[in-house]
Each structure stands twice: as C-alpha cells, then as structure tokens.
Amino acid sequence: MVENQKKKAKAIIVGGSIAGVACAHALTSIGCQVLVLEKTGAPPTGSPTGAGLGLDPSAQMLIASWLANPHLLHQATLPLTIDQNQATDSATKESWTLARDEEYNFRAAHWADLHGLLYNALPPDVFFWGHQFISFSISEDKSYVKVKAKLLRNDNIVEIEGDLLIAADGCLSLIRQHFLPDLKLRYSGYCAWRGVLDFSGKEDSETIKAIRKAYPDLGKCLYFDLGSGTHTVLYELLNKRLNWIFYVNQPEPEIKGNSVTMKVSEEMIDEMIKEAEKTWVPELVKVMKETKDPFLNAIYDCDPLRQIYWDNVVLIGDAAHPTTPHGLRSTNMTIFDAAVLGKCLEKWGLENLHSALEEYQSTRLPVTSKQVLHSRWLGQIKQGLHLPDQEPFDPKKASPEDLKDLQQKNMPFFSINH
C-alpha cells in the first residue's frame, strides 16, 4: 500500500548510525533540512549495542562542536594517551613491550554513548526510526531524488522526495550496490570476537584486580597484544567497562542477512575461550569468560572506490570506504566525511550540487583510500598473515623498523596536534 504522504526534505540520509547522525549535524548546522531513515525500530537505549571506539583529537573537536554542551563528550569518554604494542609468548605466557607511544592523545568512547550524545543533540523531527530504505530514483532532469522506504511497523510504503540522497547505510550499502553491482568486499582472513565486560559493583573482584596488574595502564592505554597469528585489543571505557577484541584467522564464514555481525552459540563461545587459553595470559581470558554476550564480526574491507557520488547521490562513512578496524580510523573517516560534505554544500549551495559533491569526493577519496589500505596492511602484520613483499611478521624477530610500523602515529594523514 502506498501512503499518500509526501514529506519534503532537502537531504535524505539513509542510515542513522555514526555516519548518519554526524551528517545530520553537519547539514543542519549549515541550515540544510535533513531527514534520516533508519531501519532500527528505536534509538538504542543503555549500552547493549556496539562496543568501544577510539576518537582522535580532531574528531573530538568536530563532535563537540555539534553538541549543545561540548563538555559532554569529554565526560562520556576516557583518555587513551598511550598506544602500546606488546607480544605474548603462548608457551610461557610471558609478555614484553614492542613499541610504546605516550603521546597518543585519543579518547575511548562506547558506540552507544557517542551515538546517544549526537542523537540527543539533534532536533526531534529529523530521525525516522523503523524506516527501511527500499529503492530510489533520480528525476529525469536530475533535480531531485525520490526515495521509497518501508515503515516496518505496518509494512506501509512511504515516498519521500529530496534534492540529495546521502548513503550512510554502512559497509554493505544497498545504495552503493545500485551504482556498483559487481563490487565485492574483501574478506580479511579473520574474524573479531568482541565484548564489553561491565564490572560495576565488582571493582574489587579477583578478575579486575588481576587484569589491572597484568595491564597496569588500563584507563589510559590502548593495548595491542600480539601472539602467533593472532592479536587482541584491550582498553577501558567509562562507567566500569572493559572493551576487548580477539582476532582469529579463519575461513570466510557464511554471512546471513545484511550484517557482518554473526549470531553466536554457547558452543562457539566455549571454542573461543579454548583458543584464547592457548595464547593469552589467564588474566585476559578471565575477562573474556566473564563478559556477557560476546559477539563475532567478520572483518571485511574494500579496495578504494574511484567514485563516491553519482548525480545527486553521495556515499559517506563505511558505505564509501569499508575498512578493517586496525587504524582506529573508521570513526575519524566518518566524522570527517560528514563535516567535509557539509562544508562543500555550504560553499557551493544546492544549486551547484555537482561542484559540491566533486569537491567532497576529491577532498576525501585520497585520504580515506590511503587509510583503508594502511589499516589492511596493519591487520595483516598483526595477524601474522602472508604479505606481498615481506615475511609474515614475527614479534620475536622484528627489527626496530618493523616495530615502528605497528604504531598508530605512523599511519598516513595521522595528526594529533590540534
């Protein structure tokens, strides 16, 4: 059934995760009318969705500028002032430092906290929850786009017109698929087990005392632990939470539905713990064991696209550049996509949409392309995978040059001086 309900909007954003919500801010702040279609039924409440993410100083500044109270971001995050790479010997469970940077200057946020801050600072009529984007068409004179969405509550179809369609629908973007039907994501060769241990009320438990002893800089340090053909990430989040990731090399899993997050069974969790026991110190395994609902992400990225806009349709965030997470850069890329798109639209106005999108593309593509490829390479090193022109990385044999490569600060376009 077609509802005869035509809403007018300047920009229609599909996807209401970090890219969508950031873009809504960047565009409303230049006076552009926006509407966000998000298929999830309601705003995430509490913190069950997602896990930790790293924010660099420039991304923090942009986010803070979108909040009514810029201090809220600082209050919702913990510092990550140290980037530490260490190795663990699986036989002896001994750990040693490979590289340590004490001027890292990031902050750690929980996905749901960051999303909530940005979402709550938007006008109330911007978000359309429970709206699944179905299709779009561009008018013959290219002056507008017409979008069809399904209201999931009652299966009604809603039609919306806008001057501009922004695809913020993530790494499996349907809108990107429309323009690039043959594009395939690249499976990285590994999956990521992830979880957040909530230890409120258990601050003095054996598990927490032990993990703080094994990782004494928790609360300000981003820990990478390299084993043989695997690595983990560990850092603390605000409100007594520990965020961990455990990367496991494995054949590409079968992905069901439109998500890279997989349903996991108790048996799979038991298997994961057994794997962890083989490599990691018992203190870390205990944290994993006590985490409620760990989840599994298949890790994909994509060779850089040559084009991220067509007529009046533009890609931002993971839709524009699916990436592996090793550079802690997907939020940076996403926030800057949104901000640059806003700046270009402000500079050129909707009357010169083509010029605006052209400038957006030529500003962002060279940066995101390099970062995606660097992040891919970092993942291959840290997982001990085969590399085109070098031996698989072995923490025991690594030269000082190799160790430098591990550090976040040696990424292309990395800067913490703001």
Nearer to ligand NAG by C-beta: 27 or 333? 333
Tell which positions 47-86 bind ligand NAG, by CB under 6 A: 56, 58-59
Q: Does 342 bind ligand FAD (CB under 6 A)?
A: no
Of ligand NAG, ligand FAD, none, which one does residue 37 interact with (CB within 5 to 8 Å by kind)? ligand FAD
Could you give the angle at the alpha carbon of 293 between the alpha carbons of 287 and 294, nearest 5°?
A: 60
Of ligand FAD, ligand NAG, none, which one does residue 297 interact with (CB within 5 to 8 Å by kind)? none
Q: Does 51 bind ligand FAD (CB under 6 A)?
A: yes
Q: How far is the CB of 349 from ligand FAD (least distance, A)?
A: 25
Distance CA 294, CA 192 (A): 10
Q: Where are the beta strands (DSSP E) in 105-263?
A: 106-110, 127-129, 131-138, 145-151, 156-162, 164-167, 186-198, 221-226, 230-237, 241-249, 261-262
**What mask of x and - would describe binding to ligand FAD in positions 169 to 188, judged by CB under 6 A?**
xxx--x--------------
Q: Where are the beta strands (DSSP E) in 169-283?
A: 186-198, 221-226, 230-237, 241-249, 261-262
Tell which positions 207-266 bind ligand NAG, by CB under 6 A: none
Is the CB of residue 38 less than 8 Å from the CB of residue 20? yes
Select from 11-19, 36-44, 280-288, 408-416 the region that touches ligand NAG (CB under 6 A).
408-416
Q: Which of residues 106, 133, 215, 309 is near ligand FAD by CB under 6 A?
A: 133
Tell which positions 277-336 bind ligand NAG, by CB under 6 A: 332, 336
Strand partners, 314: 166, 309
Q: Does 414 bind ligand NAG (CB under 6 A)?
A: yes
Q: Judging by DSSP bridges, how do beta strands 241-249 and 186-198 pair with one another?
A: antiparallel
Could you give the angle at the alpha carbon of 131 between the alpha carbons of 126 and 133, nearest 5°?
A: 105
Is the CB of residue 82 less than 8 Å from the CB of residue 102? yes
Residue nearest to ligand NAG (CB): 56
Distance CA 338, CA 213 (A): 41
Residues that bind ligand NAG (CB under 6 A): 56, 58-59, 332, 336, 367, 413-416
Residues that bind ligand FAD (CB under 6 A): 14-20, 37-40, 49-53, 111, 132-133, 168-171, 174, 317-319, 325, 330-331, 334
